Structure 1
Amino acid sequence: MQNEPRKLSMFQVLACGAAIVTLSMGIRHGFGLWLQPITQEMGWTRQSFALAMAIQNLSWGVIGVFAGMAADRFGAFRVLVVCAVLYGLGLAGMAWSPTPTLFALTAGVLIGAAQAGTTYAVIYGVLGRQIAPEKRSWAMGVAAAAGSFGQFLMVPVEGFLIATLGWQEALLALALMVLLIVPLALGLREPGFKGAAPVRREQTIAQAIAEAFRYPSFLLLTAGYFVCGFQVVFIGVHMPSYLRDHGLSPQVASYALALIGLFNVFGTYIAGTLGQRLPKRHILSFIYFARAVAISLFLWAPLTPLSVYVFSAVIGALWLSTVPPTNATVAQIFGVQHLSMLGGFVFFSHQLGSFMGVWLGGYLYDRTGSYDIVWYLSIALGVLAALVNLPIKEHPIQRHAAQPAS
């Protein structure tokens, strides 16, 4: 009988994983700050910028499935190193792109691919394999909270870099900063990954995919995550311009994004902790419905710096709080052998929603001069996601016969 490889220490996994997510998610959260500087200097439409961000999210979702497969098979370390380098190249290309097409290839395809291998799917795969089930949801909440702290930390830094260095030089500074992921990835080198899977698998990749897509709860979870992507990326990219269009200063937008990140620290941690005690479907349903209510009240109230900050705090507490219960539900139903890959499929739906949210924001703004339609869509989709999460069955799937992996 093959011995189980030794585990990494929980502190090491959480510290390195959290730091990587802080950098990767923190940098991307501030991309909305570049919308107006880039479009105004380059003479591009908002739709051009929004399309690149939409492609970024789609690239992240598509490549995330394959990054998850590679991480499950060969370990997270190699995937993290390759994608950290891609991230740096993408940020440099974003700074130097002379046309919308090249901007879409660098800010869109390249950075999206980089994010696929430096964010939640890959990191959560390590957490799932290295941390005991009774602490798994909590650990995922800690990692998500770290990404939220990255938003709080990095958005003011990015705003400061733009103001002091200019938007191009700010992107080059971030390109150097993101390479810190490479040494941090050393802490996630899992024992047993020597070019092949460390343990014999009960399922092939094809069997795991077929099982998941035949399971209704997986499809419902995936559908709800589409809405999460639609809402958060639309708000993250377009809210700074929405606020400036209504006469508020750029500083209000920077503070708003920072508040989202700060309160997201608490929201994601609490969601991960509650996921150990309460049905995760109830947590997810509450989050989506609460988002719909928060957006409705934001649009109804007079738009002032105070109302923006209150909305940012509330929506921040709900921002990535879907991530721990969603991924913990996948692990609870299907196990951890193919967790990064199956999490990648769920996240692909999230990124399809992200694509639609960010692209529709730019497209409809250019056509109507307003973001109102997309705000209303976000409300309706939030209610729908709250409903589709309620019937999810979270108990481990019953496999009636062994499915030997070839």
Structure 2
Amino acid sequence: MPPDPSASPSFTPAALTIVAAGAAVMAISIGVRATLGVFVLPLSMLHHWPVSTFSLALAVHNLLWGLVQPLVGGLADRHGARPVIVAGSLFYAGGLLLTAGGSDPAAAMLGAGLAVGLGLSAASFPVVLALVGRAVPADRRSLAMGLAIAGGSLGQVILPPLGGVLIEGQGVTVALVALAAITLAMAPLALLLTERRPADAAPLSAPTTDSVYAPLAAAWKSGAYRLVVIGFFACGFQLAFISIHLPGHLSLCGMPPGAGANALALMGLFNVAGCWICGSLGSRYSLPRLLAILYGLRAIAVAGFLAVPLSEASLIGFSALTGFTWLATVPLTSALIAHLFGPRDLGLLFGTAFLSHQLGSFLGVWAGGWAFDLTGSYQSVWAAAGALGLIAAILHAAISDRPVFTPRCRPPEPASNVLH
């Protein structure tokens, strides 16, 4: 169990600055990403594209985000998060401008697909949370990450409606340029993200192995790490499937046209509370047990949603419970990895877990569309989402929170892989 937070002082002003700036960076990067879904139909109509054209570009940036995240996280661990986030803001803004200025599908693929995917990998959860985790003592790490995610979640509440207003009032092109300008604000915010490392974190100048991936090879020998990575796949599958296909499912069930958007907005609001509360609890209680509870709650939410007749009340209940757990797994998962292996290589190790998350996201989006085309229903994928939540809960319940090794010492033999 993590140490009692009352045993250490509150956040220093420098740590609070890092948490606040990190939250602002994530509010922009994740908020703009959430806004891109608003552009699918208007941009397709403007350029006379099939809807699948821009949708494929968004799917590619989702997958690329995960594929390059371990490398980008490792670079941030070695050279600092600041230059990585600045580069990410430039890629992100450039991708949006390329999409705004081109009428060819290739522009959308290069811009919204490849460039935005690279920008997200450099300016989102793994890089920012690794920096936040290194800036505070171990017994404050989960709370700091929860606060950063909670603040960042506000971007998902604010920016999509703003994007819709801009599209309606100024047009698609101007709206994309405005979003590009917003993403450039991440660069000056990154200047506030200085490396301030507590006593339990090795300095950046400490000796490192020759390979960027050497810490990953060592961590992969731990069964605990492998279970965390597998469990995070379930998180990505559930979130992507629900966020993309819930509106269509509700339409099929005869709910009003705005029901899906309202449900997702409600999830975003409850997500802020969930991240803050779970981040705080992570400083007091077992991280694996808390994650097991969250995944179990998701499984219960899906099972109840399928079992109870759909109504406005049942949809509100599902949205509230799902929203509470929505991104609450992120600060707890990153804090667990830092607790098990130390914070020095958190960008690489959490980035690899996030790759698993994004593979789950890609499969969740694809499986929902495939199932609907094949059967005219999403029921089978809803069932899979619930089952994956149960599996992830069981996997995390099998993990001990006893540290495996720290950056200052060699990992133990695989036999001590903290599995019950």
Amino acid at match of 1:141: G
Q: Displacement, 1:340?
A: 0.7
Quick one: distance in 2 between partners of 1:334 and 1:255? Answer: 40
CA RMSD of aligned residues (A): 2.7
1:2-401 equivalences under 5 Å are 9-39=14-44, 44=49, 47-190=52-195, 198-201=204-207, 203-204=209-210, 205-398=212-405
Report the Cα distance in structure 1 between the residues aligned to 2:299 and 2:95, rounded to whole angstroms.
34
Distance change >3 Å, CA 31–CA 364, structure 1 → 2: farther
Q: Which stretch of the first structure deviates more once superposed, 70-79 or 92-101? A: 92-101
Identity rate, percent = 39
Alpha-carbon distance in structure 2 between the residues aligned to 1:163 and 1:304:
31
- CA 1:276–1:401 in 2, change beyond 3 Å: closer, same or farther? closer
1:372 to partner: Cα distance: 2.8
Q: TM-score, normalised by structure 2?
A: 0.85
- Judge conservation of contact 1:364–1:370 (CA < 8 Å) in 2: yes
C-alpha displacement at 1:117, in angstroms? 0.9
What's the CA shift for 1:223? 0.2
Question: Which ranges in structure 2 are unaligned for 5 or more consecutive residues?
Answer: 1-11, 198-202, 412-420
Gap runs ≥5 in structure 1:
1-6
Give, in angstroms, the shift of residue 309 of structure 1: 3.3
In structure 2, the partner of 1:4 is none
Structure 1 residue 101 displacement after superposition:
4.8
Contact 1:138 1:269 in 2 (8 A): yes
The aligned counterpart of 2:9 is none
Is the 1:36–1:241 Cα contact (8 Å) retained in structure 2?
Answer: no
Aligned length: 394
- Paired with 1:94 and 1:291, the residues of 2 have a C-alpha distance of 36
- Which gives a bigger RCO, structure 1 or 2 (Cα 8 Å, sep 6+)? 1
- Alpha-carbon displacement from aligned partner over 1:288-310 (angstroms, at most 9, x marks no partner): 12112212222344444444333
Q: TM-score, normalised by structure 1?
A: 0.88
Asked if the contact 2:303–2:386 (Cα under 8 Å) also holds between the matched residues in 1, the reply is yes
Distance, in Å, in 2 between the alignment partners of 1:85 and 1:355 is 25
The offset of 1:262, in angstroms, is 0.9
1:32 Cα deviation after fit? 3.2
* Per-residue deviation, residues 192-233 of structure 1 (Å, max 9, x unmatched): 9xxxx7321354534312111111010000000001011111
Offset of residue 283 of structure 1: 1.1
